[in-house]
Structure 1
Amino acid sequence: MARDTLTGGRIRERRLIAGLKQADLARQVGISASYLNLIEHNRRRIGGKLLLDIAHVLGVEPSMLTQGAEAALIETLREAAADAVAVAAEVDRADEFAGRFPGWAEVLAGGHRRIASLERTVETLSDRLTHDPQLAASLHEVLSTATAIRSTASILAETGELEAEWRDRFHRNLNEESRRLAESSKALVAYLDESGGDDSRRGVPQEEVEAFILARGHHFATLETGQDEPNDLVRDAAQLTSPAARTIARDVLSAYCKDMRAMPLAAFLDALRETDANPLALAGIFNVDLAAVFRRLAAMPPGVPGSDAGLVVCDASGSIVFRKQIEGFALPRFGESCPLWPMFTALSRPMAPIRRRVSQTGRSAMVFDCMAIAQPIGTAEFEADPLFQSTMLILPVKGEDATGKPVQPVGSSCRVCTRAGCHARREPSILSEGF
């Protein structure tokens, strides 16, 4: 049912909530009860002064009668219906449900948002427990020390007669290992406490670099204007606490400057308008490779076409070496990604640009255009195989553009992907059987 035909139903629901009889409301706005009855059953259109009078008597904004619940609430209800695969919900009546029962609609939408938030938390924690190198090292230290203490204690308990020298040595070992266990346990707890509420955790060089770039919105205005050099930004960055992180950041900024010189910002913005942000056309205008165009598009200032794009770069092993997050497309922080991403397909077809329309399984169900290309990096050498790097640009598809083309379903990683019957699955999903 169209939204503009539901005004009568909303008037009826608001009247009942207010405890007014139909005749009372009709009398207060100066119309007959029979005419109001036709309006409430959506058999007469309403607008102008009469709508304003009814809204005033009911104590609501006129927009609540004409528009009903907000579009965001309707969209959330539709997402909830799409995720309820075991039950066929009346998606076409979501607007009517929200208009007639706004309280229940908010409860349902809030529950859906809460479930989505918990699933993201499970995904993050699972990813972290499986692949976080510092957490793995800390747990290994705790377990190794506990094993050493258990071994020493068993020797003391099972050996009847020990020379005083050996007994003292074992006691000393127990004391030292106990201290070591206490220190490693405190370090583990401190690490978990420090990183529990901070997505940009420290301790891993790649994460420090990501936090450094994210803090500047992936766009370095002072580099564009020539006010700073890469070394200046790296030296003054509070996020870069380790030599390894500073080295990686310096390499990233050097590549940024190289792209910036090949595609100056002012000229690139003009070309964006002329080509409607077509990467192939931009590569031809500036005589650069596609990967450079992808990187430049993802580094645009806010409000410019491409500034909302995501970017992922991986090496020939499939390890992600650079990422720019985009809403609705989950990028694992650690470990393996979905092998169905076009970025990995590009590795099997070097130098061939690939474009796919994809949608990640999950509650957002957003659609994206992914463009990828694998290109050799470094200097060519005789008798040496080229090293390839794959770059993937992720562009959100909005509105009517999201329909009409085939969409390939993909995931983020197998462990948190609910897609059934996937031929690319490496391991069962922890979400497949629920909680």
Structure 2
Amino acid sequence: MSKSSLTGTRIRARRNLRGLRQSDLAQMVGVSPSYMNLIEHNRRKVSAPLLQAVAQALGVSEDALVQDGDIRFVEGARAAALRTDANLADLERVDEFAGRFPGWAKVLADTQARVERLERVVEHLSDRMTHDPYLGAALHEIISAVTSVQSTAAILNDSDDIAPEWQARFHENILNDSKRLAEGAVALVNYLDTADDTESGLAAPQEEVEAWLARMGFHYPALETMPLADLSRLVEGQVELSSDASRVLALQWLVRLQEDTRALPLDPFVDAMMELGAAPDQLAQHFGVPLPQVLRRLAMLPADDDRLTAHAMPGLVVCDGSGTLVLRRAVDGFPMPRFGGGCPLWPLYQALHCPGRPLRVTLLTDGRMGRRFTAYAICAPEMAPGFDIPPVMQSTMLVVPDSGPTNLPAGQQPLVVGGSCRTCAQQDCPARREPSILVTFA
């Protein structure tokens, strides 16, 4: 693909950096929003006069929209600067900086990406130490064995007149504790060793299922027509599904996904989206299906379908009545915790308090580089209610990226949320349940 053929992609990236809506840019340059959408998806060439108008509206040179200047460097340099007390006026010249010094811009972008990866590692390790009961028990067993060996050895070393029968008993204790220490260490290593394909892998069953679904793109075209009895063969021999528990969970989700695809076949569903837009409530009414089913279907559409290029791929979070996350589909810019619960302010949890009532909330993720999303959430029973049977509830939240301006009109300010309390820097949040590992509290 030639560099000029990606002009629309660069226009879209620059527009998002400026916080402009697609319709706003179209109005500024005198074209229709639908035509601007075709341009941004590289389906229409940009004439020289229009390119000049777009460049002027975005405050960049025409070369920046035609030549292969990596937008990632611009975004990375901006994100790195926002971590400091840099003059915000200088940030408006980050395009100029990246154009004049692309090497340094790449260094900043790569450094910023590494910092973000390390933060995710810190979050992962902290949450694992906090919430993984097996890891805590294994470490406790090792520490207990080490302490016992040390105490027994100290007695033998400090006492010269120990009776032979007691010496033999102490020696036996050291031997047994040493075996216990070795077995505990081996068990811990096996638990942390992802290369092992037994039940002692690093990932929990839910994580294995999510990794498997992610590799598939959360979409299985064969589910539209495959008989229910054949689903079990889809989970056999999958490298991510290394445990019996993960295969059981995967099969359960395949059954659910097949129900969704049969109730909402791909082609009619996409056609309805083209007509009605990605409005979950209207789609649910159009097909006569429950709203949670539409939310799941929207999150499981194929990312490579050309008909969906105008729609950003959303994220999905599902929890049960206890608030435990049972499925996550990540979306860039919206952090989702690996263990434990998410941010208490998520509409996912608010929906648990009002079953059957759909919620739509504009969210802004925590941080100076926070991103805006529209969240759709609803809580519904998983089975038909019955006498003497407590309802089994499940809450579903679809998270759709919003490229519009961050600042909304008065009275329509977005709700600022984090991924979890342990990784959120909002110190004065009334819903905080534990300190953050990213900031120091007084």
* Bin of the TM-score, shorter chain as denominator length: 0.7 to 0.9
Task: After TM superposition, list the pairs within 5 Å mapping 1:368-387 onto structure 2.
Answer: 368-387=373-392
Q: CA–CA distance in 1 between the matches of 2:234 and 2:339?
A: 26
Whichever residue aligns with residue 409 of structure 1, its letter is: V
Relative to structure 1, the CA distance from residue 151 to residue 377 in structure 2 (aligned partners, 3 Å threshold; closer, same or farther) is farther
State how far apart, in whole Å, the 2-side matches of 1:66 and 1:393 are: 35
Alpha-carbon separation, structure 2, partners of 1:66 and 1:277: 31
Instruction: Determine which of 352, 355, 364 is the counterpart of 1:350.
Output: 355
Matched, 1:245 2:246: yes
**Paired position in structure 2 for 1:58:** none
Q: Which moved more, 1:411-420 or 1:221-230?
A: 221-230
Partners of 2:350 and 2:86 lie apart in 1 by 33
The aligned residue for residue 149 of structure 1 is 149
3-state secondary structure, aligned to 1:358: strand
SS at match of 2:395: strand
Sequence identity percentage: 44
Q: Which residue of 2 aligns with 1:204?
A: 204
Q: State the match for 1:177 in structure 2.
A: 177
Unaligned runs of 5+ in 2: 1-47, 49-61, 196-200
Aligned equivalents of 1:116, 1:339: Cα separation in 2: 23
Distance 1:95 1:240 in 2: 45
Farther-moved stretch of structure 1 (358-367 vs 266-275): 358-367
Distance in 2 (alpha carbons) for counterparts of 1:128 and 1:89: 41
Whichever residue aligns with residue 95 of structure 1, its letter is D
Q: Secondary structure at the match of 1:356?
A: strand
Partner letter of residue 77 of structure 1?
A: A
CA RMSD between the two structures: 3.2
Q: CA deviation at 1:87?
A: 5.1
Alpha carbons of structure 1 residues 69 and 242: separation in structure 2 relative to 1, 3 Å: closer
Aligned with 1:321 (options 326, 330, 353) = 326
Q: Secondary structure at the match of 1:291?
A: helix
Separation in structure 1 between the aligned mates of residue 339 and residue 113 of structure 2, nearest angstrom: 25
Residue 39 (structure 1) aligns with: none
In the alignment, is the contact (CA less than 8 A) between 1:209 and 1:248 conserved in 2? yes
Match of 2:414 among 407, 410, 414: 407
Aligned with 1:90: secondary structure?
A: helix
SS at 1:266's partner residue?
Answer: helix
**Equivalent residue number for residue 396 of structure 2:** 391
Give the Å deviation of 1:286.
1.9
Quote the Cα distance in structure 2 between the aligned partners of 1:424 and 1:184: 39
Call closer, same or farther: CA 1:235–1:349 in 2, change over 3 Å.
same
2:366 paired with 1:361: yes
- Residues 318-356 of structure 1: CA distance to partner in whole angstroms, max 9, x if unpaired? 110111111111111112311111101111121111111
Q: Report matched runs for 1:117-136 at 5 Å.
A: 117-136=117-136
Preserved contact between residue 356 and residue 408 of structure 1 (Cα < 8 Å): yes
Change beyond 3 A, Cα 1:135–1:307: farther
Task: Report the residue type matching 1:80 in the other structure.
Answer: A
8 Å Cα contact 2:209-2:241 kept in structure 1: yes
For 1:426 and 1:64, the matched residues in 2 are separated by 46
Q: Which amino acid aligns with 1:241?
A: S
CA apart distance, 1:222: 2.0
Is residue 328–residue 364 contact of structure 1 (8 Å, CA) maintained in 2?
Answer: no
Matches of 2:235 and 2:67, distance apart in 1: 51
Provide the C-alpha distance between the structure 1 equivalents of 2:86 and 2:320, rounded to a whole number of angstroms.
40
Partner SS, residue 95 of structure 1: helix
CA distance in 2, matches of 1:77, 1:111: 9
Alignment partners' CA distance in 2, 1:150 and 1:103: 56
Cα distance in 1 for partners of 2:253, 2:69 equals 46
Confirm whether residue 333 of structure 1 aligns to residue 338 of structure 2: yes
Describe the shift of the 1:262–1:154 C-alpha distance in structure 2 as closer, same or farther (beyond 3 A).
same
Q: For residue 370 of structure 2, give the secondary structure of its aligned residue in structure 1.
A: coil
Counterparts of 2:157 and 2:89, CA distance in 1 = 66
Summarize deviations over 1:176-226 as a string: whole Å, max 9, x none.
22022123224434544548xxxxx64521122122222211111222232
| Equivalent residue letter for 2:177 | E
Give structure 1 stretches of 5+ with no counterpart.
1-46, 48-61, 196-200
Q: Which has the higher contact order (CA 8 A, sep 6+)?
A: 2
User: Match for residue 275 of structure 1?
Assistant: 276
Task: Quote the offset at 1:162 in angstroms.
Answer: 5.8
Deviation digits for residues 74-95 of structure 1 (CA, Å, limit 9, x no counterpart): 3333333433357545222223
Secondary structure of the residue that 2:430 maps to in structure 1? coil
Whose Rg is larger?
1
1:432 corresponds to: 439
The AA in structure 1 aligned to 2:397 is: M
